[in-house]
Amino acid sequence: MLEIQDFFAACVGAWKTERTYHYPLHNEVERSYTEFNVSALTVAEKQRISSDFLPAGSMSATVEIDDFPGFRIGFSTVSEKGERVAMNLKAIFVPDRAIVAPQLLPTDPLAPAMPLTAEILDSTEVIRGLYLRDEGYSETGAITGRFTYLPSRQTLELVTYYSRSVAVDQLRLISPTTRLRTIVTYQRPQPGEVPTVVNLVGFGLEQKS
């Protein structure tokens, strides 16, 4: 079992992944290959990202920003059709325990309900928080999501609400150099409704170089 800081420390490095994507609405299957590099952010970079998202007074004054996991992620993907996509982004993970004034955080009144696949019962081991990225995957611009980490499963799950979709991304570390990756993307439903229409399901085996 890995504590959250150990899990994120294991994520640093160069990774390669083979993925298969299923598009149920179109009855299509696509494969891709990705190489990506993950490095830790500096304290200054973490502070810059957190200040862009979190208003003054919302975080505990006793919390050190350096305690939050933060990464610089660069990746390049090529599909079986020869299409190439490359991106660089930065992200930090802020546990809920660090937020002392949640009423100050910006909220989306039109957000749908949490997908059932991302529902996790409360327990003493579950760590929840905000997932802050300076760039989204399917849409450009800064993105705020939610994360949960289960130490006993060594599994990190990310839920992101885009303007047209809801993404549930799960990473499970099964050895120091091997992760399982699943990605489920739903059509974004009406406010308050549970996402049920699946646009994409992706599976991947990620191995550290």
Map out the domains of the chain as residue ranges.
4-208
pLDDT for residue 158: 95
Query: What is the CB-side half-sphere exposure of residue 66 using CA atoms within 13 A?
Result: 3
Q: How far apart are CA 193 and CA 116, in angstroms?
A: 11
Q: How far apart are CA 125 and CA 166, in angstroms?
A: 25
Backbone angles phi, psi at 68, to 5 degrees: -85, 130
pLDDT for residue 86: 93
pLDDT for residue 138: 67
Q: How far apart are CA 92 and CA 66, in angstroms?
A: 10
Give the residue from 15, 8, 118, 114 showing the smallest Cα distance to 70. 8
Please state, in angstroms and as integers, the Cα–Cα distance from residue 72 to each residue in 2, 31, 38, 44, following that order: 21, 25, 6, 13
pLDDT for residue 115: 85
Over 51-117, what HEC string results?
HHHCCCCCECCCCCHHHCCEEEEEEEEEECCCCEEEEEEEEEEEEHHHECCHHHCCCCCCCCCCCHH
pLDDT for residue 64: 86
Going by their DSSP bridges, the two strands 13-23 and 198-208 should be labelled as: antiparallel
Q: How far apart are CA 71 and CA 25, in angstroms?
A: 34
Residue 74 in tokens? 């660069």
CA dihedral 130, 107, 104, 117 (to 10 degrees): -30
| pTM, 2 dp | 0.88
Q: Which fold has domain 4-208?
A: Lipocalin (2.40.128)
List, run by run, the mean pLDDT of 10-residue segments along the chain (209 residues). 91 96 96 96 92 86 87 95 92 92 79 80 83 80 90 93 93 95 96 94 95
